[in-house]
Amino acid sequence: MRNAITDRERSWSLEPDALEWRDDKGKQGRIPYAAIGSLQLIDYASYGGRIYQCAVERKGGSGVKIRSHSYISLGNFEDRRGTYAPLIRGLAEKVADANPEADFIAGSTGLWIAWTIVGLLAVVMLGFFFASLGAGGPSLNGTLMVVVILLIGGPIIWRQVKYGKAKNFDPRNVPPELIGAD
């Protein structure tokens, strides 16, 4: 997979003692399972649906991100959940076996805070909209903006606020909704 235009395409594999990768130029690397301090699973909305991401962090702090979608070109991503989900399930089990102290985190409190702020701003905008009703009514653009916020943004914001806060998950039974599995 390839995360972005600036990244090389990488192939990931679960070896007996380490997560290994090789890029399209032949460069390779590995992270021993025992050296992994945490796996954090998040998902976010995109034009092509939900994208799932696993942040693999070493005990020392550096790490890599593995995503369910691979960058093809601007605005064009290939859905690779079919190989992503089994890779992340296997990785979580191997890390749990090699490092029982590792953290297995679902969601992101930082993203949750950001979505909560977006939700509050949406409520404020709706307040301005309803306040303008008493002052001669909103413009056509204002009405369209409110419709977009309510119909498109509202459910996305609500989902992220409701489920996005960080919590732990069982690495031996990764919930399918965390990795885009059926």
pTM listed for this prediction:
0.74
Alpha-carbon span 172 to 182, nearest angstrom: 17
Residue 36 pLDDT greater than 80, yes or no: yes
Alpha-carbon span 122 to 158, nearest angstrom: 11
pLDDT tens sequence across 106-143: 987 676 677 778 777 877 777 777 777 666 666 666 67
pLDDT tens sequence across 54-90: 999 999 878 999 999 988 888 788 899 999 999 999 9
Cα three-residue angle 66-44-57, rounded to 5 degrees:
35
- Burial of residue 123, with CB atoms counted within 10 A of its CB: 0-12 exposed, 13-18 middle, 19 or more buried: exposed
Residue 99 pLDDT greater than 80, yes or no: yes
